[in-house]
Amino acid sequence: MFDWNGQLVGQGTASVPLECCSVEQSPDGSRLEVATATGTVVLGRFGKRIESLPTSLSEGTWAEDDVHQCLVQEDSPSSIEGELYLVGPGAQGKKVATVAGFGPRTGTGVIACDASGNLALLATSFMGSLESLTEIRLSDGAILWQRQAGASSDACPVPQVISPGATYEASGDEQEGTVCDLATDSVVGQLQGEPLALSWDGHVVIERILSPSNSYSLEAIDWQTGAVLWSGPPPPATLPGLVPTVNTQDQPNGTPSP
């Protein structure tokens, strides 16, 4: 394990054999949900096994407390409904609500889970395009608000990225963009590039801008103050001609890093 300055702080061996490409890190990095040859497990720092997860409660979205997860499971392959669960320690799943948003080429998933804030944000998509957002109270399954993508204002188009804390959304291109309050659908900030990711609280955005000429660069900016926290070229593409994807993870008590 390395800190955010690149210094080795510890190392260990995973207590179970791991499979490729299926690792979900909790917000502070203290836990990992990983796929193995025999199922899904949660590991602590340095590979210590914490618990196993049944298939029905795996692949959830981590909550801010690094302990709980939220997930939606479709009732059946032909169903138009699914169940929202809050998964806690000991792989205990609490059914929160029955939700709609399933069907041919349509699916619903959790994009934000806030156990202490008592809410989950769900997104329903059709053929990969966002159709609606729904915020649900975890304690009783009540719908707090719901918004159709087609009902978004011109100033706040369909969001490209949403902060994991379910507070802000952002959209735009390589030349300009906007940040909007998720609940009120109102503009709260302007960007100079295309938003690729938002920090947990939504105050820091990683954007792609056209610079230098005929190329682009990445920068992390605090959109509230306009301060550029860091900037640089994008990572190299795996194959010539491909545009590399950018993944981010919040630095605990710090800024997001690609």
Per-residue model confidence (pLDDT) at position 24 = 82
- Which range (9-13, 66-70, 165-169, 206-210) has the least confidence? 9-13
* Mean of pLDDT over the chain: 82
**Which is more confident, 67 or 213?**
67
CA distances, 214 to each of 150, 195, 211 (Å)? 33, 19, 7
Q: Tell me the pLDDT band of 248, cut-offs 50, 70 and 90.
A: low
Percent of the chain with pLDDT strictly greater than 90: 31
H/E stretch holding 109 reads strand 106-114
The DSSP bridge partners found for residue 83 are 73, 98
Instruction: Give the tens place of pLDDT for each residue, 66-123.
Output: 899 999 999 888 899 999 999 988 878 899 999 999 988 899 999 999 999 999 999 9
Percent of the chain with pLDDT strictly greater than 70: 79
Name the 3-class secondary structure at 242: coil
Tell me the average pLDDT across 125-136. 88
**28: amino acid identity, one letter:** D
- Which range (34-38, 185-189, 199-203, 215-219) has the least confidence? 34-38
Read off the tokens for 26.
């909790």
Q: Tell me the pLDDT band of 258, cut-offs 50, 70 and 90.
A: very low
Name the 3-class secondary structure at 133: strand
Q: What is the DSSP letter of 254?
A: S
- Which range (43-57, 156-170, 202-216, 241-255) has the least confidence? 241-255
CA distances, 247 to each of 48, 119, 148 (Å)? 25, 24, 27
Q: Are 117 and 133 in contact (CB under 8 A)?
A: no
Read off the tokens for 207.
């954007």
User: Which residue in the block uniquely carries the two structure tokens 């902060």?
Assistant: 163
Per-residue model confidence (pLDDT) at position 240 = 60
